[in-house]
Amino acid sequence: MKEYDIAVIGGGPGGYVAAIRAAQAGACVCLVERDRVGGTCLNRGCIPTKALYSTAHLLQAIRSAAAHGIEVGEPRFDFGRAASRKDEVVSRLVGGVEQLLKGNGVEVFRGEASLEGPGRVRIRRPDLTGHIRVKKIILATGSLPTCPQTLPVDGKIVLTSDEILAIKELPASLLVIGGGYIGCEFASIYAAFGSRVTIVEQLPALLPRSDRQAVREVEKALRERDVAIHTETSVESLEVGDEGVTASLSGGQKVRAAKVLVAVGRRPNSEGFGFAENGVRLEKGAVVVDAGMRTSAEGVFAIGDVTGGIQLAHVASYQAQIAVANALGGEERADYRVVPSTIFTLPEIGEVGLTEEDCKSKGVAVDVGRFAYQASSKAVCAGETRGSIKIVAAAEDGRILGASIVGAEASTLVAEVAVAMQQQMTAAQLGRLIHSHPTLPEMIKEAAEDTVGEAVHKIGRRTKNRPEGDRK
């Protein structure tokens, strides 16, 4: 029987990247996927949501066209066509991943894999069950939406992110339970499409891990679109009828909605595949790994959402690289100090490293640099003056500790700060880089300069009086 050097279980951004990386390194690799390759990210996560987000963004831009002298009236929006376009985007990208796997010589098995003892993986399909022999295994089985018993998901009216991405008609009203990034992204998108949206969040604020100022900007934009936001509130019961649902909130209010999105978190997908039975230690359902992505079972690695760490596609892909290197005899360790991420609300939030609030709670003294989009010439030209940039630098030595950006292209802008952080630059060094004019990244330069009181297009802050040689 053929023995593979590496078998990857799960074909999401963790698994398919691991398989390709291993094949590029010359290993004999197979990938087992029970559904379509691309995983949650490509089929039910990042990509379909961002296809819809692009539509919402365009709709918003068209609505503000009159400011440019372009009169289009209220655009006629066909949700069904937007949903079909989203499906086409997904299919096209899934096809791309299939081609990449094939082109790199990765053997793809369709079916559900489980561990069956050292070096043995079972692959089960409705029509047959087979086994393969492998030297090393990488678990990349991802995560699933959390569905609390009190919020009975029926897939028709009460939905998770999986089902809401499959609906073909725009709901007149949508109740979003959970004000994390998934809930807030859907709320922004559906509010822009014209649904009446309500968000209910148990905690005192939406997006609790993000910069407070950035979140306030998003909340303001949501309220301008008539989104009702209930924080420090829980949904006590849901009464589902033919026409929709009535939710009873902890404050005594009732909310009626055509559809409900339950977005209260995701849990590692680790049960039923023989992990624990074969020595893979789990903690609260997550596969426990060391910095080299090794599990407690010899020759078994795990990456991505199933490890219960930072649940982001690019983190899963990064871990794939580490796991493959180590499965092939290397000694690499994951480092999560610089992980940029984006919350695709309207406006979007781009963030990396620590927030100002994180630094305060850790007792780290910081210099904070701020710059507003309304002071950027490019933002004014584009009519995108909403938002701000904040860079947080260590007061001790000026090293950049983090950035939070809310506004147009925040997702792109944050990448520059991530590179600067990776290079351990100080904010003053970042501020001295030449930036092309007129562009949005000039705001990064200004915010970086502002940490030492030297932003040019900003008044009201005195330059720190430091001698030239003393500048960080």
Ligand X SMILES: Cc1cc2nc3c(=O)[nH]c(=O)nc-3n(C[C@H](O)[C@H](O)[C@H](O)COP(=O)(O)OP(=O)(O)OC[C@H]3O[C@@H](n4cnc5c(N)ncnc54)[C@H](O)[C@@H]3O)c2cc1C
**Binding window for ligand X (CB under 6 A); candidates: 199-207, 310-318, 354-362, 452-460:** 310-318
Q: Given candidates 142, 244, 369, 441, which one binds ligand X under the rule CB under 6 A?
A: 142
Q: Does 163 bind ligand X (CB under 6 A)?
A: no
Count of residues near ligand X by CB under 6 A? 35
* 235 three-class SS: strand
Nearest distance, CB of residue 358 and ligand X, angstroms: 20
Sole residue written with tokens 């009702």: 228
Q: Does 350 bind ligand X (CB under 6 A)?
A: no
Residue 75: DSSP 8-state: P
348 half-sphere exposure, CB direction, 13 A CA radius: 19
Q: Given candidates 4, 7, 8, 14, which one binds ligand X under the rule CB under 6 A?
A: 14
Can the peptide bond before residue 438 be classed as cis, meaning omega within 30 degrees of 0? yes
Q: Given candidates 201, 217, 305, 449, which one binds ligand X under the rule CB under 6 A?
A: 305
**Binding window for ligand X (CB under 6 A); candidates: 63-71, 233-241, 311-319, 462-470:** 311-319
Nearest distance, CB of residue 182 and ligand X, angstroms: 5
| Cα-trace Rg, the chain | 24
Q: Which residues of 168-185 are buried (b: 16+ CB within 10 A; e: fewer)?
A: eebbebbbbbbbbbbbbb
Query: What backbone torsions phi and psi does residue 329 show, to the nearest 5 degrees?
Result: 100, 5
293, exposed or middle or buried, with CB in 10 Å at 0-12, 13-18, 19+?
buried
Q: Which helix (H) or strand (E) holds 22?
A: helix 15-24
Q: Does 219 bind ligand X (CB under 6 A)?
A: no
**Binding window for ligand X (CB under 6 A); candidates: 308-316, 362-370, 421-429, 461-469:** 308-316
Alpha helices, H only, 179-312: 181-193, 212-224
User: How do strand 245-249 and strand 254-257 relate by DSSP bridges?
Assistant: antiparallel
Q: Does 40 bind ligand X (CB under 6 A)?
A: yes
362, exposed or middle or buried, with CB in 10 Å at 0-12, 13-18, 19+?
exposed
- Active site (annotated) includes residue 68: no
- Do residues 352 and 310 make contact, with C-beta atoms less than 8 angstroms apart? no
Q: Cα(55)–Cα(82) distance, rounded to whole angstroms?
A: 7
Nearest distance, CB of residue 410 and ligand X, angstroms: 13
User: How do strand 173-177 and strand 259-262 relate by DSSP bridges?
Assistant: parallel
Q: Given candidates 55, 143, 195, 198, which one binds ligand X under the rule CB under 6 A?
A: 143
Q: Cα(5)–Cα(52) distance, rounded to whole angstroms?
A: 40
Ramachandran class of 459: left when φ > 0, alpha when ψ lies in -120 to 50, beta otherwise: beta
Q: Given candidates 55, 161, 388, 451, which one binds ligand X under the rule CB under 6 A?
A: 161
Nearest distance, CB of residue 107 and ligand X, angstroms: 14
**Binding window for ligand X (CB under 6 A); candidates: 77-85, 136-144, 207-215, 233-241:** 136-144
Name 114's bridge partners.
122
Q: Does 39 bind ligand X (CB under 6 A)?
A: yes
Q: Given candidates 20, 113, 264, 280, which one binds ligand X under the rule CB under 6 A?
A: 113
Q: Given candidates 8, 140, 176, 302, which one binds ligand X under the rule CB under 6 A?
A: 140
Nearest distance, CB of residue 441 and ligand X, angstroms: 21
Nearest distance, CB of residue 266 and ligand X, angstroms: 6
Catalytic residue among 57, 131, 230, 437: 437
Complex with ligand X: residue 310 or 382, whichever CB lies closer: 310
Q: Does 11 bind ligand X (CB under 6 A)?
A: yes
Amino acid identity at 24: Q
Q: Given candidates 188, 198, 278, 311, which one binds ligand X under the rule CB under 6 A?
A: 311
Residues that bind ligand X (CB under 6 A): 9-15, 32-35, 39-41, 45-46, 49, 112-113, 140-143, 161, 182, 269, 273, 304-306, 311-314, 316
Question: Annotated catalytic sites, by residue?
Answer: 437
